[in-house]
Structure 1
Amino acid sequence: MIVNENLEYAVIGKFSYGWPEIQDLRKLISKQCELKGDCNIGLLSNRHVLIRATLLEDYVHLLSKPAFYITQNNWSFPMRTLKWDPLFNPEEETTTAIAWISFPSLPPNFFGKKAVFSLAAVVGKPLQGDMATRNQTRPSCARVKVEVDLLREFPKRIKIGMRMKTDEVVEKWVKIK
């Protein structure tokens, strides 16, 4: 249902101190938040709009900044973004956030997207690796942006296993920062 209703990359925009009319917001948010794809914007409650992005990149961008400032007629309206949830309650704050995690001293053979996302899934939902991880230009550390529940306890390290040519499995602990 979430995919069918275009809610896969849905974000809530919360205005605390006033906001432009909804027809103006539909034009302003896409442009001023620098969204690359299409989006559908609708009024959710008296201070919240539902932004249905079509691109994962826009979803990550919207959730990665603490606030956007929507400007109209020399007025600036701060808009915080929150992850949309089917159980969204405008009276409660969300416990979901976007954060970078690092794997210092991760062996370079684990820098591929599948491998590093598999490791990051221990902390939260992996969204994207940083440019240096994707290009493998910083072999000392891999970084991944993840969606996390701030109420969960996070591991400080994880164990990885590597099969050697002799079919021996060597285990190594990797720190998570």
Structure 2
Amino acid sequence: MIINENLEYAVIGKFSYGWPDIQELRNLIPKQCELKGECKIGLLSNRHVLIRATLLEDYVHLLSKSAFYITQRNWSFPMRTLKWDPMFNPDEETTTTIAWISFPSLPPNFFGKETVFSFAVAVEKPLQVDMATRNQTRPSCARVKVEVDLLKKFPK
């Protein structure tokens, strides 16, 4: 159902100090957050909007920054982004975030995306390798961006 409803790459935008009209947000967010694909934006609650991105790249980008500043007529509205969850409750903070994990001293023959992802899945859901890992320009360390639930126990 999540895929059928285009919620696979859904993100919540949280505005704590007011926000522009929803119609204007539909134009401002894709441009000012530098989204590459299409997205649908709808009002979720009195402070939250649901952003349904169509590209994994946009999903990762939205969750990777601590805040975006949506500017309209010389006014700036901070928007924090949170991972959407089917059990989302606007009165509770999310425990999921995005983090980089590193694999120092990993032999270069293990730098392929699939291999790095297979290591990263021990921590949580891998999303993307960094450019230096992908291009193999930093053979001393591989890095991968993962979704992490901060309440879960991390492996050693």
The bucket for the TM-score relative to the shorter chain is: over 0.9
Correspondence for 2:145: 145
Correspondence for 2:77: 77
Structure 1 position 136, deviation (Å): 1.2
Corresponding residue pairs, total: 156
TM-score normalized with structure 1 length: 0.87
The AA in structure 2 aligned to 1:54 is T
The AA in structure 2 aligned to 1:105 is S
Alpha-carbon distance between aligned partners in 2 of 1:114 and 1:62, rounded to the nearest angstrom: 23
Correspondence for 1:64: 64
The AA in structure 2 aligned to 1:37 is G
Q: Which protein is bigger by CA-based radius of gyration?
A: 1
Report Cα offsets for 1:126-170 as digits up to 9, x if no partner: 0000011111111110000000001112123xxxxxxxxxxxxxx
1:46 aligns to what SS in structure 2?
Answer: coil
Structure 1 unaligned regions, length at least 5: 157-177
Structure 2 unaligned regions, length at least 5: none
Alpha-carbon distance between aligned partners in 1 of 2:41 and 2:57, rounded to the nearest angstrom: 17
Alpha-carbon distance between aligned partners in 2 of 1:43 and 1:81, rounded to the nearest angstrom: 14
Correspondence for 2:42: 42
The within-5 A match list for 1:1-177 is: 1-156=1-156
The higher relative CO (CA closer than 8 Å, separation ≥ 6) is in: 2
Alpha-carbon distance between aligned partners in 2 of 1:39 and 1:72, rounded to the nearest angstrom: 20
- Show structure 1 runs of 4+ deviating over 2 A: none
Q: Please give the root-mean-square deviation of Cα atoms over the aligned residues, in Å.
A: 0.6
Alpha-carbon distance between aligned partners in 1 of 2:30 and 2:41, rounded to the nearest angstrom: 9
TM-score normalized with structure 2 length: 0.99
The AA in structure 2 aligned to 1:14 is K
2:145 aligns to what SS in structure 1?
Answer: strand
